[in-house]
Structure 1
Amino acid sequence: MSEQLVIGIIKDALTTALYLSAPFLVVSLVLGLLISIFQASTQIQEQTLTFVPKLVAVAAIGLLLGSWMLTQLMSFTERIFQLISNIVH
């Protein structure tokens, strides 16, 4: 197993993790920013006001993009198994 192969595997794993987590992080960040602007302008300082909408939005993203995420994860797993079978032979 060469260094290039290990670096390639790590790069592929990090890229896949970034692709899978990005929708959740972006939606949570944008929604949190909008809610904090709303709280600052109305001076409502309720902690649950930030938590519940983020939870609902993240759950919705999980439901909407779940099949795409599963496809990406299965593709990564197939690539890893292909590499393992090439190393064994």
Structure 2
Amino acid sequence: MTEGGEERGGDAPGVPATRRNRLRSAALWGAIGGFAFLVAAQGYLLVGGSFPFGYARLFGLAAVVAVAAAALAYVTEHRIARRGAKRRT
């Protein structure tokens, strides 16, 4: 914080995000979704479960989950941010 109580380097609340920032955020959420799926699958295998397909399909399925998570994050991010801004005022 600066002396006047304002933060440096961040966007002011209520300022819409740029398309580039929304795409970056969605890509990161997609990566998180894909890796979380792989972690859950590994945990399932560690406790004794098995899949009826190999690792190649597992990674393909993780890619599908990542794309779905990224798309969902991109579509809903502005709605969630707008709802949070309404509640703060």
Q: Note whether the superposition's TM-score is higher than 0.5.
A: no
Q: TM-score, normalised by structure 1?
A: 0.43
More helix as a share of residues = 1
